[in-house]
């Protein structure tokens, strides 16, 4: 039982824009209350949180839909909501995404909302407001009808079961049967020990704790896990079973095939909230796009490695997943991007609340003056993008004797700097087109410029950004180095 070979891993994210994935399940609202703790209450030995702000994200099946939308899929989300303020916020939050949300109102039943109290990046408390139990037959009829319509163009169906009431034995089984009749793969994020309602699904994706509710095994014994997985595949007429195992990565079991154990992506784990939603969304998108189960599982594992590094329930974005795949390259080659991929990455960074800084130059014979400029630029935001003149562009600006170093070597040297997050070539005489594509929050040039003479300053200022002129080190230049070498 070997881990997946690196040669079998994808090097690029497939195009998901032409596939439709349907999500049916328990849609929830995640509320974050952000504040600061500076004292203990005089009323009881508890922390006092001074609330600064509140934010909302989608939870449960809603987060699965958000992940699919982030990957670029056409997404349909079916579920329920209460006729209350939380339901209104849920619809409003869902409306900010390119998702076709069909949420059936349930009178007298509250919208499921999870409230997390946060301070200094730590979760202090979670409050759950919910009412679980079977829904009315009218609501189930509405969900059935919406599902039948949505499956007309679906490439995959996800059943996101959080045990809040959307699924009963009949609806889950009907959904599986509808998909099998149409040849549509159906993937299940399960809840509870009774999996009979998922009979015949293409793949069920429990975590270790969830699978232990169904089959007793030693989590440290992969042979025991494989044996129990094979039993479950036969018992529930599955094609695949994929167990997410936290720090151990994930294991894919296939009827009649050898187990595939994929190690977790090596990165800092900050918050595992919603990681399972990301895994099943990416797996479903991959299968709908025609990937093998093994390829889709590898892609899902990479996506999970991205979201566990985020705070709170946040979905994956295509550009982030592409960056994760690029990081598998040896050295710092993943930092050197095409203009299109650079624009996608910058957009994803901004959506994650990060400030994007841009500067540009020839950077021919990298020297201490360049290093000073780049470090000062990086300190002005969260991500530093460097626009690099191509060789042809440098020759037009500096003459036929320049550059001394070819563009690939100049890019490699810049990418090797820790303060540089991305390097992008541009062939024009000015970086205006590149700045237009990147849309930086901060534009930086050296002290021999003024704000008015910096190319692209109008674009950045119009978007509410700023232009920063940083001091240069006197007597430090590529021309000076060349003259000294000639002398």
Catalytic residue annotation: 277
Which positions ≥6 away from 420 have C-beta within 8 Å?
335, 374, 378, 384, 386, 414
Give the whole-angstrom CA distance, residue 4 versus residue 20: 28
Distance (Å) of CA 397 to CA 360, 389, 390, 450: 14, 10, 11, 20
| Residue 460 CA from chain centroid, whole number | 26
Cis peptide before 403 (omega within 30 of 0): yes
Query: Please, what's the b/e burial string for 284-301 (b: 16 or more CB within 10 A of its CB; e: otherwise)?
Result: bbbbbbebebbbbbbbbb
Single out the residue of 219, 213, 247 nearest to residue 232, CA to CA: 213
Give the whole-angstrom CA distance, residue 360 versus residue 64: 39
Give the whole-angstrom CA distance, residue 104 versus residue 140: 9
Give the whole-angstrom CA distance, residue 407 versus residue 427: 11
Single out the residue of 337, 250, 280, 265 nearest to residue 73, CA to CA: 280
Single out the residue of 185, 175, 146, 187 nearest to residue 277, CA to CA: 187
Give the whole-angstrom CA distance, residue 51 versus residue 84: 23
Neighbours of 270 (CB within 10 A): 13
Give the whole-angstrom CA distance, residue 158 versus residue 189: 8
């Amino acid at each position: 039982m070997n881990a997946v070979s690196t040669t079998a891993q994808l090097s690029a994210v497939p195009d998901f824009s032409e596939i439709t994935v349907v999500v049916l399940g328990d849609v929830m609202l995640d509320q974050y209350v952000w504040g600061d703790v500076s004292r203990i209450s005089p009323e009881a030995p508890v922390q006092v949180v001074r609330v600064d702000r509140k934010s909302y994200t989608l939870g449960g099946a809603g987060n699965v839909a958000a992940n699919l939308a982030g990957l670029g899929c056409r997404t349909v989300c079916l579920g329920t909501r209460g006729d209350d303020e939380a339901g209104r916020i849920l619809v409003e939050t869902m409306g900010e995404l390119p998702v076709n949300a069909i949420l059936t109102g349930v009178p007298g039943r509250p919208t499921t909302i999870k409230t997390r109290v946060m301070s200094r990046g730590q979760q202090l408390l979670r409050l759950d407001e919910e009412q679980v139990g079977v829904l009315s037959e009218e609501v189930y009829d509405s969900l059935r009808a919406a599902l039948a319509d949505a499956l007309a163009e679906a490439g995959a169906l996800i059943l996101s079961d959080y045990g809040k009431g959307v699924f009963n034995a009949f609806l889950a089984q009907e959904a599986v049967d509808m998909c099998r009749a149409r040849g549509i793969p159906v993937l299940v994020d399960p809840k509870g020990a009774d999996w009979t309602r998922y009979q015949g699904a293409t793949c069920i994706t429990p975590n270790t704790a969830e699978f232990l509710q169904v089959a007793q095994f030693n989590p440290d014994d992969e042979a025991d896990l494989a044996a129990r997985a094979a039993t479950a595949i036969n018992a529930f007429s599955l094609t695949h079973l994929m167990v997410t195992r936290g720090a151990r990565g994930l294991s894919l079991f296939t009827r009649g095939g050898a187990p595939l154990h994929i190690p977790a992506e090596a990165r800092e784990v900050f918050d595992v909230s919603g990681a399972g939603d990301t895994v099943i969304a990416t797996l479903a998108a991959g299968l709908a796009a025609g990937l093998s189960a093994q390829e889709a599982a590898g892609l899902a594992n990479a996506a999970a490695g991205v979201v566990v590094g985020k705070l709170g329930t946040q979905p994956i974005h295509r550009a982030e997943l592409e960056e994760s795949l690029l990081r598998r390259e040896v050295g710092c080659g993943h930092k050197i991007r095409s203009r299109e991929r650079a624009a996608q990455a910058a957009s994803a960074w901004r959506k994650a609340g990060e400030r994007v800084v841009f500067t540009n130059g020839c950077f021919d014979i990298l020297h201490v003056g360049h290093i000073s400029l780049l470090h000062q630029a990086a300190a002005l935001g969260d991500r530093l993008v460097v626009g690099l003149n191509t060789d042809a562009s440098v020759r037009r600006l500096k003459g036929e004797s320049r550059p001394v170093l070819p563009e690939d070597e100049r890019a490699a040297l810049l990418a090797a700097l820790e303060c540089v997050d991305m390097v992008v070539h541009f062939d024009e005489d000015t970086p205006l087109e590149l700045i237009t594509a990147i849309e930086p929050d901060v534009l930086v040039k050296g002290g021999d410029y003024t704000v008015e003479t910096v190319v692209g300053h109008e674009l950045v200022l119009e978007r509410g950004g700023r232009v920063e002129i940083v001091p240069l080190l006197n007597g430090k230049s590529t021309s000076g180095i060349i003259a000294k070498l000639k002398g």
